[in-house]
A and B are shown apart, each in its own frame.
Chain A
Amino acid sequence: MFAALPMVLVAYLSLTSWGGLGTPEFVGLENWSRLAGDPVMRRAVWLSLVLTVLNWIVQTPIALLLGVWAAGPQRNRAVLSAIFFLPLLLSSAAIAIIWRALLDPNFGPLAWLGPRLGLGSVDVLGGPTSAFAMIVFVTAWQFIPLHMLLYQGGARQIPASLYEAARIDGAGMLRSFWHITLPQLRHTITTSSVLMVVGSLTYFDTVLILTGGGPGTDTTIVPFLMYRAGFRSWELGYASAIAFTLVVVATVIALLLVRFTGFGSMRSTREGM
């Protein structure tokens, strides 16, 4: 009820003008034509896509390598994995608050460190590019542990006999990684990617607390824009149009990923696992 009914309501509300008080007033496609011509929305869509791609590029290799490594037999692996796990226990809000404090240009460790490195004052969250980069970094910091776990689980499922065979064939480490580990992990890669991509489209808490969508609109991604239009400007009808777009984009991307990577067939191929 809290998932299906809202979608219908979002679609309806996107055709209305509503300020949160009283009853929504039907206005037809007004919100949609405005949405099509809104430069802020266009920019938000672009930023969301860039964020999604960057997140994938940054998080996947690191999580994959760490996950494969963690599945191995190294002695201190258990201790390190335990430490790596810690960010997962923190909420997005807590993580954003921590990083905001660490990056404060006047009262944070960075303010202490900056001059000592000869950088002067560093306002990471105040620069357009650096603020965006920080969003990428902080979300990576937060989510890599989860994806690392997924890969760790996936890597453990790879039969050791494959590696044995490769070794007998004289394959080196890189080659067996490339020819055995990666192909064997393809389902995990898909799962992790779907989670990452759909997740990237919804980061909201991090943006709200870390940058407030700023500087200017440089970190205003679609979910934040929706929040701003809805609960700051109180144009809930317009915000619903943004929200509907967000859902459609998320669904399409998820479906595409599933199609192209054969995620759908996965369940049957691995049945009985």
Chain B
Amino acid sequence: MTTPRVVAAGASVLALLTATACGGGGGGGAADDNMHVWMYQDTLVVVQDAAVERFNAESDVQAVIDEVPGDNYEERLRTAMGSSEQPDVFFNWGAGSIQPYVEQDMLMPLDDLLAEDPELADAFIPSILEAGAVDGVQYGIPLRGTQPVILFYNEAVFEDVGVEPPQTWEDILDLVDAFDEAGVTPFALAGADPWTEQMWLQYLVDRIGGPEVFQRIHDGDMEGWRDPAVLEAAETVQDLVERGAFGDAYASVSYTEGGASTLLSEGRAAMHLMGSWEYSTHLDQDRAFAEEDLGYTVFPPVPDGEGDPANVVGNPTNFFSVTADTAYPEQAQEFLGYTSQEEYVADMVANGEVPTTTNAEEAVADSPNPEFATFQYEMVRDAPHFQLSWDQALPPETATPMVTEIESLFNGQSTPEQFVDALAAL
């Protein structure tokens, strides 16, 4: 490097630094003059995209959607919330997932908005809206359909093997044997994403011991993990694993990469316990399969279980919250109102979602699969208890090691007893 080049290089560094620093924007909310809306990236974002388009047509402030990859959505959100580059409006799971931000006064209370706009307040099913409140203060407005966990199955595979969908736990065990013999994996399972394994455990604990078991844990009593229902659920998991219910190659399958869903649609697996969004995933990837061969049913009761078989686990819905420091408080609140508009609800329905608005019952008739939508709607409406995903209900410092323990249980790396001990020690 000769002299002029050194000088030139130095100059270009300075230029670059200034350029990048400007590009990055030094503090004070979003760098550009747009209202940033953070969305969890999946196939359903089209609904929010359309809403943003409508919003932008009428507003002087332009909204932009930042799609954040699902795998590390919460991580990204929290690092951004700790900085000056906070989103203006962001997707979340309500209650526990926004608690830390509420504690730091980082969110805008929405009580006034609801008081001023009774139509918005009345648009949602009250129990669902409630899940967006922390300590009685509303911080979230529902933005998605309800997401119960459903037992999906491939009707073509059932026909080939000549069996019927399960009604009871005995059916499940018989089906496992039948499919195993036929060379089909009974249940697709995305073991690399332990929250999918958590669904099994949540249903089992609820069916065996009822919602009280987890409520005690949620209230902060880790000894609650020692409830016999948890042990029995863990033993049931162990039994399923040993019977080959999930095949022998599930531990490194990822849900976000689509592995488990593809196994189901290709008929290499017969069933898949998954959130209702599985339907729109298939609609997006393999429309023919979603419309013709995708079957669904409820999680069956467990013998001598105390829990109501009508109970549901999953995500009641997702919420939009507004950051307290946003530069566009009015516009953000206005944008939240779009989530109950007719077009928005229609878009949700068209994408296979079941809205949490009070008028959903009529709307679901227009669903691409009205039967599925009605099934889902009634399932949620009639559920005595809707358990939010454990990893969203618990604070992250407990949830993170918990899902790892669940993964170890499913991989046969820990026994049910070790599993219970490890969780009680959290």
Contact flag (A, B; Cβ within 8 A):
yes
Q: Measuring CB to CB, which residues of chain A are less than 8 angstroms from any residue of chain B?
A: 19-22, 40, 103-107, 111, 120-128, 131, 211-218, 220, 228-229, 231-235
**Apart from the given pairs A111-B249, A124-B252, A126-B192, 13 other A-B contacts in the complex at a CB distance below 8 Å:** A105-B250, A106-B268, A123-B250, A126-B191, A126-B249, A214-B251, A215-B251, A216-B407, A231-B75, A233-B397, A234-B78, A234-B100, A234-B397
Task: Collect the chain B residues with CB atoms within 8 Å of residue A111's CB.
Answer: 249
Contact A125 B104 (CB under 8 A): no
Contacting A at CB under 8 A, from B393-426, are 396-397, 399-401, 404-405, 407-408, 411, 413-414
Contacting A at CB under 8 A, from B337-392, are none
Given known contacts A106-B268, A232-B75, A234-B78, is B259 in contact with A21 (CB within 8 Å)? no
> What's the minimum C-beta distance from A124 to chain B, rounded to whole angstroms?
7
Task: Collect the chain A residues with CB atoms within 8 Å of residue B405's CB.
Answer: 216
Contact B262 A107 (CB under 8 A): yes
Given known contacts A21-B100, A217-B408, is B263 in contact with A106 (CB within 8 Å)? yes
Q: Which of A107, A214, A218, A232 contacts B396 (CB 8 A)?
A: A232
Contact A20 B82 (CB under 8 A): yes
Tell me the dominant secondary structure on chain B's binding face: helix
B68 within 8 A of A: no
Task: Collect the chain A residues with CB atoms within 8 Å of residue B248's CB.
Answer: 120-121, 123
> What's the minimum C-beta distance from A272 to chain B, rounded to whole angstroms?
24
Task: Collect the chain B residues with CB atoms within 8 Å of residue A106's CB.
Answer: 249, 253, 259, 262-263, 268
Complex-state Cα separation, A20 to B100, whole angstroms: 10
Contact B252 A126 (CB under 8 A): yes
Contact B252 A105 (CB under 8 A): yes
Q: Measuring CB to CB, which residues of chain B are less than 8 angstroms from any residue of chain A?
A: 75, 78-79, 81-82, 100-101, 104, 106, 191-192, 194, 247-253, 259, 262-263, 268, 396-397, 399-401, 404-405, 407-408, 411, 413-414
Given known contacts A105-B252, A126-B251, is B104 in contact with A40 (CB within 8 Å)? no
Contact A233 B252 (CB under 8 A): no
In the complex, residue of chain B having the shortest beta-carbon distance to the beta carbon of A231: B75
Given known contacts A106-B263, A232-B396, is B100 in contact with A19 (CB within 8 Å)? yes
Q: Which of B78, B192, B399 contacts A212 (CB 8 A)?
A: B192
> What's the minimum C-beta distance from B389 to chain A, rounded to whole angstroms?
15
Given known contacts A218-B413, A234-B100, is B79 in contact with A105 (CB within 8 Å)? no
Task: Collect the chain B residues with CB atoms within 8 Å of residue A125's CB.
Answer: 192, 251-252
Task: Collect the chain A residues with CB atoms within 8 Å of residue B268's CB.
Answer: 106
Contact A215 B411 (CB under 8 A): yes
Q: Which of A103, A215, A232 contacts B413 (CB 8 A)?
A: A215
Contact B251 A127 (CB under 8 A): yes
Task: Collect the chain A residues with CB atoms within 8 Å of residue B414's CB.
Answer: 216
Complex-state Cα separation, A120 to B75, whole angstroms: 37
In the complex, residue of chain B having the shortest beta-carbon distance to the beta carbon of A128: B413
Q: Which of A215, A232, A233, A234 contacts B408 (CB 8 A)?
A: A215
In the complex, residue of chain A having the shortest beta-carbon distance to the beta carbon of B405: A216
Q: Which of A122, A124, A232 contacts B400 (CB 8 A)?
A: A232
Contact A123 B249 (CB under 8 A): yes
Complex-state Cα separation, A222 to B81, whole angstroms: 26
Given known contacts A217-B408, A218-B413, A234-B396, is B251 in contact with A21 (CB within 8 Å)? no
Complex-state Cα separation, A106 to B106, whole angstroms: 44
Contact B262 A216 (CB under 8 A): no
Task: Collect the chain B residues with CB atoms within 8 Å of residue A21's CB.
Answer: 78, 81-82, 100-101, 104, 106
Complex A-B, nearest 8 residue pairs according to Cβ-Cβ distance, in ascending order: A126-B251, A216-B408, A105-B249, A125-B252, A123-B249, A121-B249, A126-B252, A233-B400
Contact A22 B75 (CB under 8 A): no
Given known contacts A216-B404, A233-B401, is B75 in contact with A103 (CB within 8 Å)? no
Q: Which of B106, B192, B397 contacts A235 (CB 8 A)?
A: B397
Task: Collect the chain A residues with CB atoms within 8 Å of residue B262's CB.
Answer: 106-107
Complex-state Cα separation, A19 to B252, whole angstroms: 30
**Which of B248, B263, B268, B404 counts the most chain A CB atoms within 10 A?**
B404
Task: Collect the chain B residues with CB atoms within 8 Å of residue A220's CB.
Answer: 404
Contact A216 B104 (CB under 8 A): no
Contact A215 B407 (CB under 8 A): yes
In the complex, residue of chain B having the shortest beta-carbon distance to the beta carbon of A238: B397
Contact A214 B400 (CB under 8 A): no
In the complex, residue of chain A having the shortest beta-carbon distance to the beta carbon of B403: A232
Complex-state Cα separation, A229 to B400, whole angstroms: 8
In the complex, residue of chain B having the shortest beta-carbon distance to the beta carbon of A217: B404
> What's the minimum C-beta distance from B182 to chain A, rounded to whole angstroms?
16
Task: Collect the chain B residues with CB atoms within 8 Å of residue A105's CB.
Answer: 249-250, 252-253
Task: Collect the chain B residues with CB atoms within 8 Å of residue A215's CB.
Answer: 191, 251-252, 407-408, 411, 413
> What's the minimum C-beta distance from B321 to chain A, rounded to whole angstroms?
14
In the complex, residue of chain B having the shortest beta-carbon distance to the beta carbon of A125: B252
Complex-state Cα separation, A80 to B106, whole angstroms: 58
Complex-state Cα separation, A259 to B302, whole angstroms: 64
Task: Collect the chain B residues with CB atoms within 8 Å of residue A212's CB.
Answer: 192
In the complex, residue of chain A having the shortest beta-carbon distance to the beta carbon of B260: A106
Complex-state Cα separation, A234 to B405, whole angstroms: 18
Contact B252 A123 (CB under 8 A): yes
